[in-house]
Amino acid sequence: MFKKILIANRGEIALRVIRAAREMGIQSVAVHSTADSDAMHVRMADEAVCIGPPSGTESYLSIPAIISACEISGAEAIHPGYGFLSENAGFVQIIEDHGLKFIGPTAEHIRVMGDKITAIETMKKLGVPCVPGSGGGVQTLEDAYKFGDEIGYPVIIKATAGGGGKGMKVAGSREEMKSAFQTARAEGKANFGNDEVYIEKYLTTPRHIEIQVFGDGKGRAVHLGERDCSLQRRHQKVFEEAPGPAIDAETRARIGKICADAVADIDYAGAGTIEFLYENGEFYFIEMNTRLQVEHPVTEAIFGVDLVREQIKVAAGEDMSFQQEDLQVNGHAIEVRINAEKLPNFTPCPGKITQYHAPGGLGVRMDSALYDGYSIPPYYDSLVGKLIVHAPDRPAALARLHRALGELIVDGIDTTTPLFHALLAEEDVQTGNYNIHWLEKWLEENT
């Protein structure tokens, strides 16, 4: 097992990894920008190395700075968290070239899944159901019209290098194709340096259902059921739950097996998420994330596992702690994302926390790097906390979430907490009757 690992991230996810490492008797090294000298991950780690100025590109995204921090501190492995360099195949290659270990899959798996077209081709071959679409890249407007007519409108044009909801445009009809095609290409070029796009059938009322998979890199893999992350704003998740209200045990076992078999087939190592749209009882693959997800705690809650511990074990060459038959769903878990944002426009509002109190009690987990007197810097993501509740069933989890939200105090800045109070009062949220468009529509009508 490793003696020391470095965490190439900040905020709550850096704390999450430090916690797992400490329980395993592994020393942790935090890296930080000059803007994060007072950050909680710096205080909690065994060691900390300053790697650059506030801008993410010059610090948390600086590969030379992170590798140097590893060399200086003597860390043997790097955990990337999510975001930043977590899905950067070049970074993984460099880590391997330096004789260090990346806590995650191989550079090759990241590369294949990071390009949406090669990901779809691979999944299709592995027997995973995909959205009807162009399959490969679409180069010209004439071809775009041809696929639009073939697939049938509405269609969605997606940048093959896209992510975070950027580089996607819907064409409701032939008339809208030209502008959607050109905009998706331009967004792909501007945000990801790649203007290749492909076309898919646009599903009008799907849920977002994602399957958590875990592989040992030696041909063995399991699934840990699904998460329903349909409540989204601008394609960004805000409320996630497991199990999914629309998924029964038989459906879970069926799609779970397809996913576990697929990743076993390619000797996938570590945690991964296979994302689907789910409509009228059918699953349609949209993308695979080759990292730990923000919403992984809901899965940890219902299966009683520590996914970060497993990631570290597998990276160190050890076996996973569980087999498929050990993994049984227990109760219901919900996560809400507490962002430093001002409603109704979700405007980022960094600033000084004058008072902070985390909710607690039975079945409540608050993953956050906030503390009294902390100043949230303006340079990074606005996620400042994740409130996760676990209870024997969905109604009890909703009641617990309501109770826990009432205990949360974050003074000095605005947060998205009021949104969740309002959502919990909605009958559709109480019954789990929603799809990926529900929240956008609700926000239009209620703000």
Indicate the residue among 262 and 436 with the shorter CB distance to ligand ADP: 436
Are 296 and 349 in contact by the 8 Å Cβ rule? The answer is no
The residue from 53, 135, 137, 163 that contacts ligand ADP (CB under 6 A) is: 163
- Which residue matches tokens 């195949």? 89
Q: What mask, x for binding ligand ADP by CB under 6 A, covers residues 244 to 273?
A: ------------------------------
The residue from 90, 136, 164, 406 that contacts ligand ADP (CB under 6 A) is: 164
Task: Give the CA count within 13 Å in the CB-facing half-sphere of 435.
Answer: 11
Indicate the residue among 42 and 242 with the shorter CB distance to ligand ADP: 242
The residue from 39, 138, 203, 238 that contacts ligand ADP (CB under 6 A) is: 203
CB of 285 to ligand ADP, least distance (A): 10
Burial zone of 280 (CB within 10 Å; 0-12 exposed, 13-18 middle, 19+ buried) = exposed
Report the relative pairing of strands 155-163 and 197-201 from DSSP bridges: antiparallel
Are 270 and 104 in contact by the 8 Å Cβ rule? The answer is yes
**Among 101-109, 198-206, 256-264, 360-368, which window interacts with ligand ADP (CB under 6 A)?**
198-206
Indicate the residue among 187 and 216 with the shorter CB distance to ligand ADP: 187
Nearest to residue 84, comparing CAs of 76, 92, 73, 72?
92
CB of 287 to ligand ADP, least distance (A): 4
CA angle (439 as vertex; 433, 441 as ends), nearest 5 = 105
Q: What is the rounded distance in angstroms from the CA atom of residue 104 to the CA atom of residue 433? A: 35
Look up 337 and say whether it is catalytic.
Answer: no
7 binds ligand ADP (CB under 6 A): no
Residue 106 in tokens: 């191989």
Are 408 and 417 in contact by the 8 Å Cβ rule? The answer is yes
**Among 65-73, 87-95, 98-106, 200-208, which window interacts with ligand ADP (CB under 6 A)?**
200-208
287 binds ligand ADP (CB under 6 A): yes
Indicate the residue among 9 and 232 with the shorter CB distance to ligand ADP: 232
Nearest to residue 226, comparing CAs of 303, 113, 313?
303
Are 172 and 185 in contact by the 8 Å Cβ rule? The answer is no
H helices present in 201-357, as ranges: 249-265, 296-303, 307-315
Q: What mask, x for binding ligand ADP by CB under 6 A, covers residues 117 to 136?
A: --------------x-----
Q: What is the rounded distance in angstroms from the CA atom of residue 328 to the CA atom of residue 304? A: 9
- Which residue matches tokens 């009062």? 425
CB of 85 to ligand ADP, least distance (A): 17
Query: 13 to 72, contacts with ligand ADP by CB under 6 A?
Result: none
The residue from 6, 14, 66, 156 that contacts ligand ADP (CB under 6 A) is: 156
Q: What is the rounded distance in angstroms from the CA atom of residue 144 to the CA atom of residue 137? A: 10
235 binds ligand ADP (CB under 6 A): yes
CB of 154 to ligand ADP, least distance (A): 8
403 binds ligand ADP (CB under 6 A): no
CB of 146 to ligand ADP, least distance (A): 18
Task: Give the CA count within 13 Å in the CB-facing half-sphere of 114.
Answer: 17
Peptide bond into 132 cis (omega under 30): no
CB of 83 to ligand ADP, least distance (A): 12
Indicate the residue among 18 and 156 with the shorter CB distance to ligand ADP: 156
162 binds ligand ADP (CB under 6 A): yes
310 binds ligand ADP (CB under 6 A): no
Are 31 and 7 in contact by the 8 Å Cβ rule? The answer is yes
- Which residue matches tokens 């041909």? 219
147 binds ligand ADP (CB under 6 A): no
Indicate the residue among 374 and 438 with the shorter CB distance to ligand ADP: 438
Are 243 and 332 in contact by the 8 Å Cβ rule? The answer is yes
Catalytic residue selected from 10, 207, 291, 309: 291
The residue from 106, 160, 232, 293 that contacts ligand ADP (CB under 6 A) is: 232
Q: What is the rounded distance in angstroms from the CA atom of residue 9 to the CA atom of residue 86? A: 9
Positions in the binding site for ligand ADP (CB under 6 A): 131, 156, 162-165, 168, 200-203, 208, 232, 235, 275, 277, 286-287, 436
Residues marked active site are found at 291
